[in-house]
Structures are given as structure tokens and as C-alpha cells.
Structure 1
């Protein structure tokens, strides 16, 4: 049984979400920062498959997922469900993004988000986080009530703001950017100066084994 860790603080914009290592739905340990790479990320802390509100919200996220892909944004769910239950939910939803298994409730303990009104399932209060690169929290949504969860319009807005803040080439109409490109300064343009197009396409395809790999303990 894992021991309680030092409380890292509240889930607040501007703080850094911990770089957790959990097994994914295939049983392979993944490090959250490896799954994120250098992109924005949506992290969903879910009650689990038993919750109808979670299932409804995930249906919206699955429909939204193709927009996340072309918008260079990864998405990960963290659940306290066991391997079998998590896989059933993922397959029934038709989700193509990783589900990380936190059966020992590490996130719940770290952030003090046990849903104490549920005396049967020992779940965490559901949250949805939008992260900038480096696991920096851009925005937080508390989903104890369904309407506290972000709509896809909310996520679109948050990801627009986050991407504008981290990508210096957001507005290609700027003269200095065109001049920089003509001079061959590709490091000012993402991803051209940071990774190959092949690597970018691997990430867009969700090929986690190829770009994130296995995490150590």
C-alpha cells in the first residue's frame, strides 16, 4: 500500500500538477510529463465508470477528441477504477486516449479531494484540468455538480488562451515572424524548430509507445 505523500497544494491555475507515474489501461506504467510531451494537455480526474455524469462528460470529450488531435493537445483520464472496469468504460465509449489507473487513491490523498458524501465508492471529486507544457495548470473545473464541468466551448477557449501564451508564432501576419522565417530561424516556429514532422505525426496518431514509452518506478 502506497504511503500518503506530502500535500502538493491546491489545484489552482499557475501551479504545477505532479508528474505522476501510473499504469495505463494496458498495464504499462506511464509518466504524465512523457504523455504530455511539449504540448497542451487536458487531464480528467474521474469518479469512475459507475457515475452517469462521468459517462456523459466522457461522451462529449470523445466527440471533441479529433479537435484536440489537430490542435496539438493531448488528453488523459486518471481513474480509481480497476483495470477491467476502466477498460470496459474506455471501450464502450470508443475512447482513443490513455486511462491511467490510480487504484491506491494517490491523487485523492495528495489534493484532499475525497468525495466524502459518497460512502460506498471512495472516489475523488471529479476535476478537469487544462495544462500548459510542463504540467502547468491553466484552468481547473470542479465537477461535483455536472454543470461545474467544462463544456467543449470552455475547453476550446482555455486551449486558445494557453496556446496563444506559449506559441510565439501564434500570429503569422507579424512582419518580424515572416522575416525570421526567411532568415531560416525555425526555432521561432513550433514544431519546426523543436521536433521533426515525423515525431509530430506520431504524437497526433496517439502512438504512446513510440513517443512516451514506459516509465520507471
Structure 2
């Protein structure tokens, strides 16, 4: 990773096709919530499979924790779909056959002369694609455990949700006064939109204003 992609920097807002061949913009998929982005080698890599299997089991917690998950691979569309289906994964898999991300972030795995892949990374993002933490997964133990992701996401959520501690008297006063601004999702999104996002219905909300 270039030094500019350090905590506090902004991750590039890539637009790549997903498993349905539909172009997706990362900021649309994030929709103002925390997000985890996994940059993987692809179908052939057993380390990727094990990591993604763990994320598949963890995904239910990400959903109820209003956290987005995106995987980016250099595989083609067909191979990307095979991997996603075999893992029973329910989040967007974006494929980057042109190696835009690999080249842009300067993460070509030059030790692999056969597959032309990315060095695996896991990037944990605050809203607005702000980088919170980057894990280098060239060696498997460099990849985050779900416990580490839980800790990262706790730190992020605590810092971005004013209603983290509902016992604060000022929060109760605001609620009783009809001020829902500090409360999530009431002050930011309709419950309908939140439920659509939790269901992964990206076509219904990506790039649109709330309530559209």
C-alpha cells in the first residue's frame, strides 16, 4: 500500500462491476456506514477461501451492526460468481480484470509470476471511505480475525454514533423533545432504507437519495 493509504486517508472511490455485471461505486455501497473491503488474490487461493469462509459466518453480525462488506478480486465474472456461490456469500463481489486497483494502489504480488494478482489486504473504513486500519494479508496471519474486526468496528461505531450511550440524559431530553438528529437511523435514514440495505438490495438504494 502507498503511504497515502494510511489511517485518516481516503480510500479511492472505485467503480467496478459486481457479480451481476452491474457497475458499483464503493461510496454508494457504503451508504454512510462503516465498511470492510477485502482485496483478494482470487478463486485459486486457499488463504482467501479460509478468510472469506470466516467472513461468511461473521456476516450476520455485520448486517445487524449496520456495517457493509465488499470483496474485490482480479478474477473474471464467471470465476467471481463461482467463488461467491461456493462460499454462500451474500455481499457484493466486485471484479477487476483490468487490474485497476492493483496498479493504482501499487499492490501487485510480484512474487506470483503466474496469476498477476493483488497482495491481499483488508481495509476497514469509516464513513466517507476514510481509512481506519489496513491489514496486509500476504501471510495469512496478517489478515484480521473476526475478533479484531469486531474491535475496529466497535471503535468506529462508538465514534460516529452520538446515541452510542442511550443513558445520557441529554439524549433522552432530545428524543422527548422530538429531536431525532442524534439517533441512528432515525435522524439519517428511513427504516425502509435501512431494511433494504440489510437485505443487500443495492439496486434499490445505491446512488439514490433517502426516500426515493
TM-score normalized by structure 2? 0.95
Report the counterpart of residue 73 of structure 2 in structure 1.
Answer: 79
Report the counterpart of residue 93 of structure 1 in structure 2.
Answer: 87
Report the counterpart of residue 4 of structure 1 in structure 2.
Answer: none
CA distance in 2, matches of 1:167, 1:23: 31
Give 1:11 deviation, angstroms: 2.5
The partner residue of 1:20 within 14, 17, 20 is 14
1:23-43 residue CA offsets vs partner (Å, 9 max, x unmatched): 111101011100000111010
Give 1:213 deviation, angstroms: 5.6
Unaligned runs of 5+ in 1: 1-6
The partner residue of 2:106 within 106, 112, 119 is 112
The partner residue of 2:136 within 142, 149, 159 is 142
Report the counterpart of residue 148 of structure 2 in structure 1.
Answer: 154
Please state whether the residue corresponding to 1:30 is helix, strand or coil. strand
Aligned length: 208
- Give the aligned CA root-mean-square deviation in angstroms: 1.4
1:13-55 residue CA offsets vs partner (Å, 9 max, x unmatched): 1110011000111101011100000111010000101000000
Give 1:212 deviation, angstroms: 1.1
Report the counterpart of residue 184 of structure 2 in structure 1.
Answer: 190
Report the counterpart of residue 5 of structure 2 in structure 1.
Answer: 11
Q: Contact conserved, 1:8 with 1:110, CA < 8 A, in 2?
A: no
TM-score normalized by structure 1? 0.93
Please state whether the residue corresponding to 1:130 is helix, strand or coil. strand
Please state whether the residue corresponding to 1:116 is helix, strand or coil. coil
Q: Contact conserved, 1:9 with 1:111, CA < 8 A, in 2?
A: no
1:177-207 residue CA offsets vs partner (Å, 9 max, x unmatched): 1111111110111110111111110001111
Equivalences for residues 123-138 of structure 1 within 5 A: 123-138=117-132
1:165 aligns with 2:159: yes
1:105-157 residue CA offsets vs partner (Å, 9 max, x unmatched): 11111111111110100111000011111000111100000000000000000
Structure number with higher relative contact order (C-alpha < 8 Å, ≥ 6 residues apart)? 1
